[in-house]
Amino acid sequence: MNLKSLLFLFSIFALIISCNSKEEKTGYKQVFYRAVNNNDTAILVLNISDKRFFGRYEILYNRIGKDSGDVRGDIKGDTFRGDFHFISNGGSWKRVPLAFLRKENKLVLGNGVVGTYMNLPCFLPGTLNYKDPKFTFEEVK
């Protein structure tokens, strides 16, 4: 491969990376949330657009450890649905489905029966609900 070909490939690669990084950041609003349940605290930092969200999620268990990782998904109306990819208490990587319902500037964590579809975790149809949530997130300003 000659120098011109190598420079051309490098230029294309740099252009693709710069376009992707700009695309991710434009149109997103960053919001910080916090929730407390007994002695456990959850922190959620979301980048939210009209149709998508992504960010970081950390659950601090009192004197036991923490789950820490990335969240991402889609927004339809007041419902956020996606997944949480995290390291559990410093152990191995896990991926679980995630759902939030936006109510009055709060996010209510959904729960339901977890299954898999095409090797991805999801809530089984008809099982997702927002009753008795483990966490209700409030915006931190």
pLDDT value of residue 25: 55
Token digits for 45? 């930092």
Average pLDDT over residues 51-76: 94
Average pLDDT over residues 40-54: 96
pLDDT per residue as tens digits for the range 64-108: 889 999 999 999 999 999 999 998 876 889 999 999 999 988 999
pLDDT value of residue 7: 40
CA of 122: how far to CAs of 2, 21, 33, 44, 118, in Å? 49, 28, 23, 20, 10
Which amino acid, one-letter code, is at 61?
Answer: Y
pLDDT value of residue 42: 96
Whole-prediction pTM: 0.77
Render the burial of 58-80: b for 16+ CB within 10 Å, e for the rest. Answer: ebbeeeeebbbbebebebeeeeb
Average pLDDT over residues 48-70: 93
Q: Which tops the pLDDT comparison, 18 or 127?
A: 127
pLDDT per residue as tens digits for the range 10-46: 444 444 554 444 444 568 999 999 999 999 999 999 9
